[in-house]
Amino acid sequence: MILIIDNTKNLKKAYMTPKLLSYLKSLNIKYLIASDRDNVNEIIYSKNNIKGCILTGGPLCLSEELTIESINKNISVLLHLKNIPILGICFGFQIMAASYGGKIDSMLEEDNGVFEVNLIKDSIITKNMNKNFKVFQSHKDKVSIIPPNFEIVAIDNKNNIQIIENLENKCWGTQFHPEGLEETNIIIKNFIDLCY
């Protein structure tokens, strides 16, 4: 089973997370969605057969004032599920980077739409992908400094960090939404293959 940490304020009104869930269904992957810390902790401690975890995107920005309640479910996963692969997407990626010691900054203008990304390092998460590919982005913050022991896998044409990884901790993060375009769904597929 894949644990999905839902960072949307309202899953029914969300745009990207339903696309992620639809793609997982097309792969016949069992998943469980958790939207609050109590639910996450219950799942973690109930000895569910969690094979991997995805931290979804969401409308919040780490560069703005947030309460711990808005991010603690993600931190709980990062603290307690150390032996399973974790994929952070957009806001989930930024929480992962910040939790491990990276730096998040507000962008001058929001990136929203299709952009080009360039691989600068081979990674199991980008297996079978071209060196340059298009992605869908929708965010106002960026990871400006990666955490210690993480490596940059891809950047965009403005040198913004787009994919990072930490093989020892089994953590990967994408600033863009791999569920946003059909051709980037392969990142999710590669992640699922890692989990199983």
How far from 94 is each of 33, 97, 105, 154, 161, CA to CA, in Å? 20, 5, 10, 15, 11
**Among 53, 90, 171, 195, which one carries the catalytic annotation?**
90
| Cα 192 from Cα 196, distance rounded (Å) | 6
Neighbours of 58 (CB within 10 A): 23
Written as six digits, the tokens of 190 are 């590669």
Query: Which 3 state secondary structure label does DSSP give 145?
Result: strand
Written as six digits, the tokens of 71 are 């991010």
Q: Is 171 a catalytic residue?
A: no
**Among 53, 165, 171, 179, which one carries the catalytic annotation?**
179
What is the DSSP code string of 93-114?
Answer: HHHHHHHTT-EEEEEEEEEEEE
Q: Is 80 a catalytic residue?
A: no
**CA-wise closest residue to 154 among 126, 193, 127:** 126
- Residue 53's φ and ψ, nearest 5 degrees, are -140, 140
Q: Please check whether residue 91 is in contact with residue 7, taking contact to mean a CB–CB distance below 8 angstroms.
A: yes
Q: Is 90 a catalytic residue?
A: yes
- Provide the annotated active-site residues: 90, 177, 179
